[in-house]
Amino acid sequence: MVTIKDVAKLSGVSIKTVSRVVNNLAEVSPETRQKVQQAILELGYQPNTTARNLVAGKTNTVGVIIPHSADYIFTHPFFTQVLQGIAEVLSANNFNLLLHLAQNEAPYARLYSQRKVDGLILMSIPIGDPNIHGLEENGVPYVCTCRISETNNSTSWVDADFAGGVEQAMEHLISLRHRRIALLAGPMSLVSVRLRVLGYHNSLRKHGLPVADGYILEGDFTSESGYALATKIMKAPNPPSALICGDDMMAFGAIQALKELGYGVPEDVSVIGFDDISLARFSSPALTTIRQDTYAKGRMAAEALLAFMRDKHNAPPRQIMLETSLITRNSTASAKN
């Protein structure tokens, strides 16, 4: 490869001078600058990023960690939307994006200790994930797009108000005179799912409604699990008149199951999703759902991380809660009785 030395030799100056013109460090006479630039063009010289990084002690790259299978991630519009926000901000700030689909056991902090990244964005971390250890001890700059524990702590995160979101869904259904409302939740290993359950209970309590047996089911955010859980709950003794789903994919599966069981949606059973992915309006019926701004989540997380990396001290740990909103479409209607 052509190095700074080659350029120096060809233009008849020292490597330091070459370095100066490459980095625009002024103090170079116009003629020598000219000579050097000529040589650079002639040789097609490009500075070696690895060498620069070694000297500078940084990488200009941010690692995005998602501890799930590529299959799971890329079939969920949720992840890709957050990624979009992150990618845009990083790109605008000349940072590289290293996508790390953690599967095997290896502390996330290692990416930083090994100087592969300057900072980390952690997505969808399950409770008790052993790999999060060492983040603080190693001084790793990081931001989560989720919460990693139900109790308060000092991690910085950007996340939606899941409890509030489910409460919005509940208010909507209760105002439509539904009383038997089931929650087809996602995996309980996620704080966001537990918060949805919390919101569900809050609403029931507020309206003096009973907690029905078996009305909280655990799925995994796939349409298949939505299908399976809807089938199960509708075949049970006391079927609900409305379903709140953990995400839109589950809602799609649930609607499919309901149709196959002969229930009309929304005439017989109302269904509400969560996220408002772009395809929610194309389902049949168009899906009523709780919208969370996943794109903003990604952007804000990336911005918070960059701010933190720029100035560790003046950027206090930030915890940002994003509001959700109810998008009313055609999958919900008044309860029959």
Which tokens go with 42?
A: 């002639």
Contact 308, 290 (CB under 8 A): no
Select the residue interacting with DNA from 3, 60, 61, 75 (CB under 7 A): 3
> CA distances (Å), 26 to each of 4, 17, 20, 36, 329, in order?
18, 10, 7, 13, 61
CB of 29 to DNA, least distance (A): 4
Which option in DNA, its own copies, none does residue 110 bind, with CB closer than 5 to 8 A by kind? Answer: its own copies
Is there binding between residue 84 and its own copies (CB under 8 A)? yes
Q: Is the peptide bond before 141 cis (omega within 30 degrees of 0)?
A: no
Select the residue interacting with DNA from 38, 41, 42, 52 (CB under 7 A): 52
Could you tell me how many residues of this chain bind its own copies (CB under 8 A)? 49
Nearest to 122, CA basis, from 154, 159, 93: 159
Q: H or E element: which one contains 193?
A: helix 191-206
CB of 5 to DNA, least distance (A): 6
Which tokens go with 211?
A: 């907690």
In whole angstroms, give the CA distance from residue 89 to residue 302. Answer: 6
Binders of DNA among residues 27 to 46 (CB under 7 A) are 27-29, 31-33, 45
Taking contact as CB under 7 A, which single stretch among the options 18-26, 202-210, 269-277, 295-303 is the one that binds DNA?
A: 18-26
Select the residue interacting with its own copies from 5, 16, 116, 133 (CB under 8 A): 116
CB of 63 to DNA, least distance (A): 19
In whole angstroms, give the CA distance from residue 76 to residue 83. Answer: 11
CB of 9 to DNA, least distance (A): 11
In whole angstroms, give the CA distance from residue 4 to residue 227. Answer: 62
Is there binding between residue 43 and its own copies (CB under 8 A)? no
Please state, as a whole number, how many other Cβ atoms lie within 10 Å of the Cβ of residue 70. 11
CB of 59 to DNA, least distance (A): 13
Is there binding between residue 153 and its own copies (CB under 8 A)? no
In whole angstroms, give the CA distance from residue 196 to residue 202. Answer: 10
Select the residue interacting with DNA from 34, 41, 42, 48 (CB under 7 A): 48
Which tokens go with 330?
A: 């055609």
Is there binding between residue 61 and its own copies (CB under 8 A)? yes
Q: Checking phi first, is residue 43 left (phi over 0); if not, alpha (psi -120 to 50) or beta? A: alpha
CB of 118 to DNA, least distance (A): 15
Please state, as a whole number, how many other Cβ atoms lie within 10 Å of the Cβ of residue 279. 12
* Between 20 and 194, CB nearer to DNA: 20
Taking contact as CB under 8 A, which single stretch among the options 11-19, 263-271, 280-288, 306-314 is the one that binds its own copies?
A: 280-288
Residues that bind its own copies (CB under 8 A): 1, 44, 46-51, 53-54, 59, 61, 70-71, 73-75, 77, 80-81, 83-85, 87-88, 91, 96-101, 103, 110, 113-116, 138, 223, 252, 255-256, 278-279, 282-285
